[in-house]
Amino acid sequence: MMVRIENVLSAEQVANLRTMIDAAEWVDGNETSGHQSRGAKRNRQLSKSSEVAQKAGRIVLDALGKAPEFVAAALPLKVFPPLFNRYEGGETFGNHVDNSIRRLDGTDFRIRSDLSATLFLCDPESYEGGELVVEDLFGEQRVKLPAGDMVLYPASSVHRVTPVTSGARVASFFWLQSMVRDPVQREQLYRLDRTVRVLSADRGPQDEAVLELTNLYHNLMRSWADS
Ligand SMILES: O=C(O)CCC(=O)C(=O)O
Ligand SMILES: [Fe+2]
C-alpha cells in the first residue's frame, strides 16, 4: 500500500527546516548506502552524525507524532532517525532496494524496515524530474508531492528517483518498523480505522455500530500488533 499523508509540516515549518539544513554541510549520499544501492545513488545528504541533521530529524519525528493519518497508516513501532537528501544537476538514485534491517551506528537501536517514507521539503514546481518511482506488480507509481506532504511506501519495493534536471529536490527520508508486520493486515486496519472515523463523524462516537467497529479494530490490533 502506498499512502500520501498531507500537511505533515506546515509551510512555516518547512521554511524553518530549510533555513536550518540548507546552510549545513552536505556529503556524498553513499554515506548510508548498502552494497547494492551504492552504484545507483548519486545525491547529497546531510551527514547523519551532524548536529543539524539530528536536530532537524527530531523536528520531523515530532511532526510525525502529531500527524494522526501517519500514525493510523503506519502504526509505527520504531522510526529510524530521519535523514535529509538533495538532488540537483542531474543527480538521481537508480533502481534499488532498501536494507531490511537498519542499525543506528554505535547503538543497539535496530529496526526492521517495513515502510519507507519521503517527506518533500520543496515545491514540485521548483525542480524538473526528481519523481520517486515505486514499482509494484501493477506497474509504476510516480510520486512528486507538495512541500510538507509525505509518501509512505513498502520498504520491500524496488524504487528510484529520476534525475533532477533543473532546480533542486530536497527531502527528508526514513524507514520505520510497524507494530503490524504483515502489509495486508496493516492495510485492513487502516481501512477499518478510516471507516470508523467517517461513521463516527456521521453518527457520533456513542453510536452502537461505531462502538462495535471500534471494538473490532482494537481486538484485531491485539491479535496482530507487536508493541
Ligand atoms: O529520495 C527519495 O525520495 C528516496 C530515497 C531512497 O530511496 C533511499 O535513500 O533509499
Ligand atoms: Fe530507497
- Measured distance CA(45)–CA(188) in Å, rounded: 35
The pLDDT averaged over each successive group of 10 residues in the chain (227 residues) is 97 98 93 79 91 96 98 98 97 96 95 98 98 94 98 97 98 98 98 97 96 98 97
Q: Which atom of ligand 1 is nearest to the CA of 29?
A: 9
Whether residues 172 and 190 share a domain: the answer is no
pLDDT of residue 100: 96
Q: Domain count of the chain?
A: 2
Whether residues 169 and 188 share a domain: the answer is no
| For the chain, counts of helices (H) and of strands (E) | 6, 16
Whether residues 54 and 94 share a domain: the answer is yes
Count of other CB atoms within 10 angstroms of residue 91:
21
Whether residues 156 and 190 share a domain: the answer is no
Choose the residue to mutate in 102, 116, 150 for probing ligand 1, maximizing ligand atoms within 8 Å of C-beta: 116
Q: What is the CATH number of the domain that holds 144?
A: 2.60.120.620
Helix H or strand E segment including 191: helix 183-203
Looking at this predicted complex, what is its ipTM? 0.99
Is 98 touching ligand 1 by the criterion CB < 6 Å? Answer: yes
Residue 205 identity (one-letter amino acid) = P
pLDDT of residue 99: 95
C-alpha 159 – ligand 2 centre gap (Å) = 6
Domain that holds residue 204: 183-224
pLDDT of residue 149: 98
Whether residues 122 and 145 share a domain: the answer is yes
pLDDT of residue 38: 80
Whether residues 23 and 134 share a domain: the answer is yes
pLDDT of residue 48: 83
Whether residues 172 and 187 share a domain: the answer is no
pTM of the model: 0.96
